[in-house]
A = this chain, B = another copy of it.
Amino acid sequence: MSVTPTLLQRIGTQLPIIQAPMTGSDTPALAAAVSQSGGLGSLGCGARSPVAMREAAAAVRAATDRPFAMNLFVLDTPSPGAAEVQAALERLAPLYERFQLPLQTPSAWCQDFAAQFETLLELRPAVASFTFGLLTSDHVRHLHGAGSLVVGTATTVAEALAWQNVGADAVVASGVEGGGHRGTFLSDWEGSQISTMALVPACVDALAIPVIAAGGIMDGRGIRAALALGAQAVQMGTAFLACPESALVPAWREAMARADGGDTRLTRVYSGRWARGIVNTMMRELLPHEAVLPPYPIQNALMGPVRRAAAKAGDGEHMALWAGQGVGQTRAMPAAELMRTLARESDA
């Protein structure tokens, strides 16, 4: 009798815990610590160039021989009109002025997806995960040929089915309570704000492939809850964001330590895509423009200089403080200690 291996067996991890890819906030040290502890660390590579992807993967591999994941944004490079860009830039003039930045167009809107994808095939991570869009079956076949399992991100059952249809090995069912960007790519925004508690069982019922639960999962209670809902694993972002190995500046850590679930909002102001973070001055100042901001990645690229300047200045009121609704339950401990704690709690 043949037995279908579980998702964990296929990946080769012991614990059903994936550290979420957090582009700009994860580090090779964080991913390596999670993988070394029996979970699956991830490198959010959406904003990493091929060179940076190679460096990050090498750094993880220098620290552990355990499996890890690399994540890309499935994204076309946009060609916005000059007038649209100028209007969007001028909307940000007060922020640029605050940090004495020249009001100019960035040299690129985003990384080139095709080049990143080629690099992923070359690097052959155990898991290749994707957000913001859908791969073709050809893409998936190439990744399988390279030895990578393919994990898609879905915010609705329709998106989860789309990933199953192109041959993904598993789908992250990403609840609306999660921090950072929503992965929505197929459904309209209003119809894709579904919570983990509702989305996970709906995906489990609709799919033949394993479901990974994400959104609001902070500790062993959340892990056991997600597994009870039918998920084979969980993906946790905010919980790992508080680890010292993450790339967060102190002002962001301090804001997280003060915040609870009621302090986060979903907004387009950071990047032109819906994303959840802690309310601060910058969010409040940009909210009146939310409906007219250009789409991702244009607004995201225009905000880049502000984000970097605020981070450098330690100014938590003018950066994107990504965090999920579970932010009140974060524990600022080293990733290996957090993994031991999660393993103990979820066994209980």
Partner-B contacts on A (CB < 8 A): 156-158, 175-177, 187, 190-192, 194-199, 201-202, 204-205, 215-219, 221-222, 224-226, 228-230, 260-263, 265, 324-326, 328-329
Contact = CB atoms under 8 A, between A and B. Distances in A.
Nearest to A156: B262
Nearest to A230: B221
How many copies the complex holds: the figure is 2
Contacts of A221: 201, 204, 228-230
A230 to B, nearest CB: 6
Nearest to A265: B190
Contacts of A205: 328-329
Query: Which 7 pairs between the two chains have the least Cβ-Cβ distance?
Result: A197-B216, A198-B325, A191-B262, A225-B225, A224-B228, A195-B195, A177-B195
Given A177-B194, A225-B228, A260 B157 contact: yes
Contacts of A325: 194-195, 197-199
Nearest to A158: B262
30 contacts: A157-B262, A157-B328, A176-B176, A176-B195, A177-B195, A191-B263, A192-B262, A194-B261, A195-B196, A195-B197, A195-B325, A196-B197, A197-B197, A197-B217, A198-B216, A198-B324, A198-B325, A199-B325, A201-B218, A201-B219, A201-B326, A201-B329, A202-B326, A202-B328, A202-B329, A204-B221, A224-B225, A225-B225, A225-B228, A225-B229
